[in-house]
Amino acid sequence: MEKMKLLMISNSTNAGEPYLKYPIERIGEHLKGISEVIFIPYAAVTFSYAEYERKVQARFDEIGVRVRSIHREKNPLKAIREAQAICVGGGNTFALAKKMQQQGLMRAILRKVKQGTPYVGWSAGSNVCCPTICTTNDMPIVEPESFRAIGAVRFQINPHYLDANPEGHAGETREQRIEEYIEANPRRYVVGLREGCMLLLEGGTLSLIGSRPMRIFKKGCEPREVVAGDDLSFLL
């Protein structure tokens, strides 16, 4: 835990802003001194992995970091073992998990980040940092081997967390969905990470970054809000 350097971002893009614009400065700080990242594009579904690689590279050019997509590697596990840093993009979490599991990347990444290799993920890339992918917002368009994920942190993330329920919509709110999860998984914390926010784990300390509060869920406890600067050690 002391060695791990994880940056878990709720969303890639704030409404009305260019792709990855709001978090790129923080990503640059996280990757200081690093010239290349291994990028995992497997959450892409409606566009190609190569297109995803180009899209991320265009933004990472601003911080002087080369993006090397793992889909081009003959030996993906070797690429992870030798990576200076690992970056996992957003998209469909089930598609991402299936491909990562097929290639044995979950365990390989966990071993690597425990050694101190920096990790950056947004949306689905944050989901797979958790013990499972069960608190994703995505449809299960494909079936992974299991819901198990990397397990670099002990809590679950719900990215793009929303308080509001659209007018005229009679379905469950996001909070009600998470309450179902904690009922079935009473030992697990879930954090509702609102858009424009991220979690940084470094030096054994977990910090919330962003202007919006984060909502904390656990069975038997009333949901509560925490803000940047609050002590989040209970999640570790």
pLDDT in tens, 84-125: 999 999 999 999 999 999 999 999 999 999 999 999 999 999
Determine the pLDDT at residue 170.
67
At 134, is the secondary structure helix, strand, or coil?
coil
- Please give the model's pTM, rounded to 2 decimal places: 0.96
CB 199 within 8 A of CB 228: no
Span 6-12, average pLDDT: 97
Long-range contacts of range 18-26, CB-CB < 8 Å, 24 or more positions apart? 18/59, 19/55, 19/59, 20/56, 20/59, 20/122, 21/59, 22/196, 23/122, 23/198, 24/59, 24/60, 24/62, 24/63, 26/198, 26/200, 26/209
Whether 19 shows a pLDDT value over 70: the answer reads yes
Residue by residue, DSSP assigns 12-65 as S--TTS-TTTTTHHHHHHHTTT--EEEEE-TT--SS-HHHHHHHHHHHHGGGT-
Determine the pLDDT at residue 172.
84
At 233, is the secondary structure helix, strand, or coil?
helix
Task: Record the tokens describing residue 33, joined without a space.
Answer: 């001194």
Amino acid at 225: E
Percent of the chain with pLDDT over 90: 94
List active site positions.
Answer: 123, 138, 160
Amino acid at 86: I
CB 37 within 8 A of CB 84: yes
Amino acid at 20: L
Q: Which residues pair with 117 in a beta bridge?
A: none
Q: Which residue has the tokens 């809590």?
A: 155
C-alpha torsion sign, points 18, 211, 2, 157: negative
pLDDT in tens, 126-174: 999 999 999 999 999 999 999 999 999 999 999 999 987 767 776 788 9
- Cα distance between residue 27 and residue 179, in whole Å: 32
The number of residues in the chain equals: 236
- Name all domains of the chain by residue range, CATH numbers in brackets: 5-235 (3.40.50.880)
The mean-pLDDT minimum among 22-26, 59-63, 167-171, 195-199 falls in 167-171
Task: Record the tokens describing residue 165, joined without a space.
Answer: 């329920």
Amino acid at 178: I
Region of 189 on the Ramachandran plot (φ > 0 left; ψ -120 to 50 alpha; else beta): beta
